[in-house]
Every structure is written in C-alpha cells, then in structure tokens.
Structure 1
Amino acid sequence: MTNADPQELEKFGELAHKWWDTEGDFKPLHRINPLRLDWIAQRAQLHGKTVLDVGCGGGILAEAMAQRGANVLGIDLSVKPLKVARLHAMESGVSGLDYREVAVEALAAERPASFDTVTCMEMLEHVPDPSSVVAACARLVKPGGMVFFSTLNRNAKAFLFAIVGAEHVLKLLPKGTHEYAKFIRPSELSGFARQAGLETLELVGMEYNPLTQRYWLSGDTSVNYMVACRRPQA
C-alpha cells in the first residue's frame, strides 16, 4: 500500500500548470519560499551537499536549494507536477537537480542514509500516515544530518486562518486545499520524530499579515510551523 491519497495526488496534478505562476494558486508557496530556504540554509550547509526534497511538487524549494549549490533530488507521486518541475529546471538551466516519481518509503528501502539533508515541507498534512513519512525521512538522512518538516497545527485558530481565511475569505489557496482533520499538532510531529530516532532541535512559526501581504518567522506555532530535526551520530 502506497502512503498516498489518490484524491490529493489528482488535486495537485490538476493544478500543476499553475505551479510557477507567482501570482496564481501557489502564490503563498512562492512568498514563503525565501523564508524557509534561508531558515534551512542557516541550519544545514547546502552548498555541495546531497539534499532530498520529499513531496517536491513543482519544484519551488528543490530548485531554490539547487541554486544554493546543493545536489538535490526531488520526489513526488503526482506525475504532472514532476513534469512541470523538470521543464522549469531545464528552462532555468539549474544544475545539480533531479526528480523521481517514487514514494519516500520505497526510496528509504533503496537508499538508506544517503542524504546530508532531507526536507519535507507542506506535505505531511496531505498523506494518510504522516508518521510513516517521518520515519522514512529519518532512514534516508545520514547520521548527523538534518531533517526539516513544515505543516499546519490542529486547533480552532488554524482552522479559522488556514481554511476559512486562506481558502474562503482571502482566496490565497484553492478551496479544498487542506483538510482540517489532517492537520498535525507540534507535539504529535515531535512524537513521530522521536519514534523515528530523530532529535527535535527547533520549532518555529510562520505568520502572515493579509493587509501588508507579508510573511515572517516567529515563536507563534499556532497555525503554520516548521521543525528542525537531527539524526544522531551512530
């Protein structure tokens, strides 16, 4: 059984042609990408390192990390976004970047302890079993390597901001992008990481002001948040 929701794959597949439209359905991803890229780069050396981007979609983060000098493999199970990612990389002339249609669990069995850094951003809330993804990421990173996750907290504020606000009122995202029941509390994600043998080093929130259309990092993890983990040295 593949740890993927066919409806989720189809949903993002149908939006694939809009992935690199910076003012379209994926505008929020383009806006937060510099923030998350810098946050990752400050905690894990990217230049010359091997990096895996799990659930890469159309390649926004994967391509940005390759531009920072990393050798990046982006993986996803949605075929159309991968085609878009490959095409955009070719048009951009970015080197050190490859994409594969493969489940993270399958890749973990094939290539354990192969990557200096693993990123899995905005993806855990779209799969049936997020703990399985976390465990696979832990197996894929080398001892001493970093693993980064981002997702959405599960509480009334997150429902109000991420679904009612972002999808219905502000229309920052297409309706149906997120399903509240799949949101993950930081304590739950830290538990998944601990079970997978990862140390949780840092938790940071990401906030948005709809008036100024500005995103920034903060200590408020009540809606969007990112987690930095490390696989201990053997």
Structure 2
Amino acid sequence: MTQTLNVDPAELAKFSDLAHRWWDPESEFRPLHQINPLRLEWINGLAPLAGQRVLDVGCGGGILADAMARKGADVLGIDLSSKSLKVAQLHALEAQTPGVAYREVSAEALAAEQAGSFDVVTCMEMLEHVPDPASIVRACATLVKPGGWVFFSTLNRNPKSFLFAIVGAEYVLNLLPRGTHEYAKMVRPSELAGHCRSAGLDLQGTRGMQYNPLTRHYWLSSDTSVNYLFATRKAAVGA
C-alpha cells in the first residue's frame, strides 16, 4: 500500500517556485535570515550543538541547517521540495560548509528508518504548512534519542496572529509573499503542547518572536501570541 505523504502539494509548489531566492537576504526570505541568529543561539544555549548529530525537518534552502553545521554539529536536512534541497546543497558546496548533508525524504519515512538516531531535532516554520502537524511531531519524537532535544517554531492561531502574520506581514509590510500562511493551518501553543505530550516529549521552555516594523528588528520574548518556539525533550531511558 502506498503511504500518503504528509504534504500539501500547493505549499510545496509555493516554496519550490521561490527556491532560487532562499539565500538572497533581501528576498522574500529576508525574515528567515533575520531570525536565524536568534533561533540558532536559543537552540545552542539549551542543547550545545558542537559534536551532536542533528536533524533539521523541513530544512528548505538550508538556512538553519547550514548555521547549525557551522556550530560544529553533524547535520542532516530533510525536505520534500527537490528545488529547495538543490539550492541548499549548492550553497553548502559554495560556502564549503562542513558536516551538512541533505535528503529528500519525509519525517515519517525517516522515522521508520532511523528511530532514535539524533541528539537534536529541529522543525522550524514548518508545522503550519502541513496537513497533519501531529504526525510530524510524532516522527520528530521517534527520531530523537532518549534524553535528546526537539525544537519547534510555528505560528499561533488567534485574531492577533491573523492581523500580524497574515494581514501585516503579507499585505501591509510585504515581508512575506501573499499566501505564505493559511490561518486555518496555524497551530495554537495548547495544541502543539498536546501533540508533544502524546508523542512523549516534555516541554522545557517557550519563547515568542517579536518584530518592530519601524526598526525592522526581531527579538525573543515571553510573548507567544504570534510567532512562538517550543523546546522539548524526550525522556531518558530509565527516567
């Protein structure tokens, strides 16, 4: 029986069409370039990356995967967009980034193949683009070693988030291409926390991502009402 991939073809096409612009810091991906140092340092502060085997789920063009490899991690980035992966691989070659590889495979398929293989798993800005986010969370939990860390970031689903992340970011400020986010697919923190609990991941910490359109400045805060990040950990054996 053919397994149905947990992917929205329209979402895949959307990012594939923009793939060649991933590494242009002034392109539609500028926000990712701007927030990357913040999320990288947050991850590295909780789970020091040097010498760790790391998986980046939904890696896109490799902005986070490349940065984690430069922190000394052995990184595998996975995605279902062939074009984005080619861009990521080309950048790694051009930048001579050590310790990073890319593969076109779903999180669920890799979980069946390499359960408990990674010290750290990241899944950033991806859950709000798939039909079944709970399935991705389960796969991440399966892929990480006991005692390992799993990091998520996504968008809250509430009126403020609709106003800021869709109306503001896509239609007023033009920070993102129109249609990047779909309100119904956004994930409330309570929903993500439930998915994590069901998958055996213990929530260790949350952060929110703030943005000032006047200064074009991003920072992390305790406000999770729009963009937010989860740090979770899989129970150690015998714990």
TM score, norm. by length of structure 2:
0.98
Correspondences of 1:1-234 after superposition (within 5 Å)? 1-234=4-237
**Rounded Cα–Cα distance in structure 1 between residues aligned with 2:87 and 2:202:** 34
Unmatched segments (≥5 aa) in structure 1: none
Question: What SS does structure 2 have at the residue aligned with 1:134?
Answer: helix
Shift of 1:30: 0.2
1:122-177 Cα distance to aligned partner (Å, 9 max, x none): 00000000000000000000000000000000000000000000000000000000
Unmatched segments (≥5 aa) in structure 2: none
**Rounded Cα–Cα distance in structure 2 between residues aligned with 1:65 and 1:102:** 20
**Rounded Cα–Cα distance in structure 2 between residues aligned with 1:66 and 1:186:** 29
Letter in 2 for 1:94: T
Question: What SS does structure 1 have at the residue aligned with 2:119?
Answer: strand
Question: What SS does structure 2 have at the residue aligned with 1:48?
Answer: coil
**Rounded Cα–Cα distance in structure 1 between residues aligned with 2:59 and 2:84:** 8
**Rounded Cα–Cα distance in structure 1 between residues aligned with 2:101 and 2:33:** 20
**Rounded Cα–Cα distance in structure 1 between residues aligned with 2:85 and 2:37:** 21
Aligned residues: 234
The 4+ residue runs of structure 1 with deviation greater than 3 A are none
**Rounded Cα–Cα distance in structure 1 between residues aligned with 2:164 and 2:25:** 21
Instruction: Percent identity, please.
Output: 68
Question: What SS does structure 1 have at the residue aligned with 2:210?
Answer: strand
TM score, norm. by length of structure 1:
1.00
Question: What SS does structure 1 have at the residue aligned with 2:76?
Answer: strand
1:69-110 Cα distance to aligned partner (Å, 9 max, x none): 000000000110000000000000011000000000000000
Question: What SS does structure 2 have at the residue aligned with 1:136?
Answer: helix
CA RMSD of aligned residues (A): 0.3
**Rounded Cα–Cα distance in structure 2 between residues aligned with 1:45 and 1:30:** 21
